[in-house]
Structure 1
Amino acid sequence: MSAFLIELKNADLTLGAGSAAVHVLKNMSLSIEAGHSVGILGPSGSGKSTLLMVLAGLERLDRGEVTIDGTALGPLSEDALAAFRGENIGIVFQSFHLIANMTALENAAIPLELAGRRDAFDVARAALTSVGLGERLEHYPGQLSGGEQQRVAIARALAPRPALLIADEPTGNLDGETGRQIADLLFAAQKESGTTLVLVTHDPALAARCDRQVHVRSGEIADDGLKGSDDGHPVQGGRAAE
């Protein structure tokens, strides 16, 4: 078994067609060790959020391979991919993506219910309590602050105890102090569970809290935080990893 939870090899992806086509990922390669936290940085339009969607199995590559925890995503059917994602990948979005007519408890239980867990609500309740929302279980998203909604989203992502936690600008819609609290919570939860965390952010201070920083520009990895290393780690990223 590989020591890498994530192995991305020669990933190539174009979105759109004809004159609207955009070459988003260009022969990108990246490996991430299990249990590590990695911050993805880059200007708008650089491909960093698309990279996350590929790792989450929400975008399929035109060419190349993506393997998560030993499972190649490319050959999986849509149903098999959804099942794999539900069991192994937690996702936290910038805009929370909570269902307005469901309570915090119901929102957090969704992935567990989809996985057929009979203990879905018990596990969701414990996850919400762990992020400080034990007294807000029956509140609807509209009754919660932005920080509380993001806590629900984090609880929902972590409840199945995924091997991989993906976060796309998790503090982007929050004020500075609330964002710091959410970042503290996210990293504490990642350390406690031992999951691998990959997050996209425009905030260098947030990325600096990760074990490693990967800089993406124009669909390619410009610097993956390992180049020039003499600690025995392989160089990853772009054509250097071929």
Structure 2
Amino acid sequence: MKLTRKAVLSRAKASELGGVRKLNCWGSHLTDISICRELPNIEVITFSVNNISDLEPVSQCQHLTELYLRKNRIASLTELFHLKKLPRLRILWLSENPCCGSDLHRYRMTVLRNLPSLQKLDNQLVTEEELSHALLEGEEITAPPAKLDMDNCCQNATTESSATDFTVESENEFMNFSLEETNKIRQQLGMKPVPRDKFSSFTPRKVDGNRKNQNNILNAILLLLEELDSEGLEVICQTAGSKLQALQKELHEER
């Protein structure tokens, strides 16, 4: 899905692209963010939980200070080449992307070697000691990622694999929803964290198995629902209505 000019202006509540300072597109199924090239004054971008793989458009956002990209499809750390052009970037959330790999220490060292001005990476403060180690243990990225012909040779295999992994990750995330995870999402959305006593008020009585997982999802939805504007609530209503119709149809066919 392509992020359009209309969507940017609507979400940012701005009249022109040059006036956009903050943009929140969390969980919007985005793949194309080329519109970022037209956001010269953007300071905070939330693109977590999407399908983004190319960060080149972001390289034009010279005023960007915070960038949230958790749970996307960024395959290679060479995409950091585009972020090296952002002199004001101080906060980056890149975890749970394919580029992180299994060696998280190497991943963190490589990010910090190429972006030494970061103050926080993946919601963890960057220390002077880490920056020193990064010079020795991190890999320096000096060239942009090679562009493959994704429309031909390997699009189907990559897309199918990524989609499967993304679905599994999303299910696992919701199945283990906690106060910490809820507050991570709220932080990316620019919301205040939920106090523990308020979170507890949403916790239902103990149940087992699938019912417990459903309650975990419901907890998160209820906590975020009150923060949505009319546009967000409309999206929720439409999505819930479609889902309910599909379930009712399925039940009817089984009978």
- When normalised by structure 1's length, the TM-score is 0.33
Q: Greater relative contact order (Cα 8 A, min sep 6): structure 1 or 2?
A: 1
* Bigger share in helix: 2
| TM, length-normalised to structure 2 | 0.32
More strand per residue: 1
Please say which structure displays the higher CA radius of gyration.
2
